[in-house]
Structure 1
Amino acid sequence: MNPHDELLKRLGVDIDAETLRLALTHRSYAYENGGIPTNERLEFLGDSILGFSVTELLYREYPDLSEGDLAKRRAAVVSTRALASIARRLGVGDFILLGQGEKVTGGKNKSSILADTMEALIGASFLSGGLEAARQFVVGLVSPLLADAAVLGAGTDWKTHIQELAAARQLGAIHYAVVGEGPDHARVYTATLLIGGTPYGTGTGNSKKEAEQQSAANAWRVLVPVPDGTGPQTAGSAPLQLG
């Protein structure tokens, strides 16, 4: 089985070879190969199809949710983090055409590149199979994330919610202790959130911001457990508990 057939099998979609190659062509590769077309136009197309398809899916699947809750859930499943997680699960990074600079700096695992490529693949599925094929492709990709997005609050600005929670409970000053490890091109950051000098959560990421957000999310799970203790409440799902 050739590599492209393997990728299509993982994705569960039919895309013609030429369009698939275009969807996988990052601008860094295009620049190093004489300025050939990149996947950016497909990314633009796929972004619109993704938003429409997720909006329709949420509207039909969650008839009791308010507009605001639907918008939050949509933001969660179309976020860069969510799309990158899908790409990593499917191993899409191994198939992206990257320039040498991006290759040596770990481009195949960068969230922004992975998310952009997923949008380009959605656009490619539309050009190859039409709107219904693209919609079904999107539904297959994001449906497993919907429950997780509701539980984990993917896309939530956890740093802001923790700041508000700490102030409401008068827990003390917030501080993020961040350390980085590894070479500059593949650096991994670890952040520990301290509130009033007490550590509440630790997170990792490819940037300081990502690590801090993850540590804040983990701290929220400690401070605001769900009633059965199995996971976090999403921010805004219940009023902050004072004291």
Structure 2
Amino acid sequence: MDNFLQINTNKDVVVIGDIHGCFLEFLEMIQKIKDRYGEDTLIISVGDTVDRGDYNLEVLQLCFELKEKGDFIEVQSNHNLKLYRWFKGKNVNISYGMKKTVDQILSLSEEKKEILKERYIKYYESLPLYLIINSSVLVAHAGIKDEMIGKTGKKVKDFVIYGETTGRFTEEGFPERVDWTKGRKITDSSPKIVYGHVVYRQPYINNLCYGIDTGCVLGNMLTGYNPFKDEFIQVKAKKRYFSFD
């Protein structure tokens, strides 16, 4: 379950930032991607497809269907891991928008809940910890340091899923994050790293690292990035679905 995946492809590739239950924007993004690059474009999700938004189960269903068609890969992420743990009966804190996902699940019939549970557990267990494409692009939910590439284990998993923090907390009560991209030393063989997790108003580019969570669920936009053509696609949020206020 916690292995990375290495693939080679001749297809166009577009990586999509954190979706967080924004189903309508996700659909629009997929259509824009296919209009620009073709029906067989490989779509990659940086994870955090659920929580905070209004259509979490619809997003999950679409991810299941896209993966079965073979042109979609999602990497592991903190919100989706939390849902996996909840389905497995672990004691998790239902907060920060997870309640929206859980409420949707609890509204289902017992039969549908059980089907979704089994399908999601199987789906999440199939996801790579991170993804390496053509040895030149790496996709990880919260990023990855160069010395971790090609490795697994608890330290790598924690960084890839949760990122790096200072140990302090912001006024809102969230962990204070470290910009791990600043100290990166670039060489001719350094891969592009595409990640989500940290919200930016616009894509954040630094030392061949591309932060593409642009806060769609907060009312900003959903961002897609083609790392081989160095092109962005963006979809404006239909509304603000969630606020930390």
TM-score range for the pair, normalised by the shorter chain length: under 0.3
Structure with more of its chain in helix, by fraction: 1
Structure showing greater radius of gyration is 1
Please give the TM-score of this superposition, normalised by the length of structure 1: 0.27
Which of 1 and 2 has higher RCO (CA within 8 Å, sep 6+)? 2
Give the structure-2-normalised TM-score. Answer: 0.26
Q: Which has the higher strand share?
A: 2
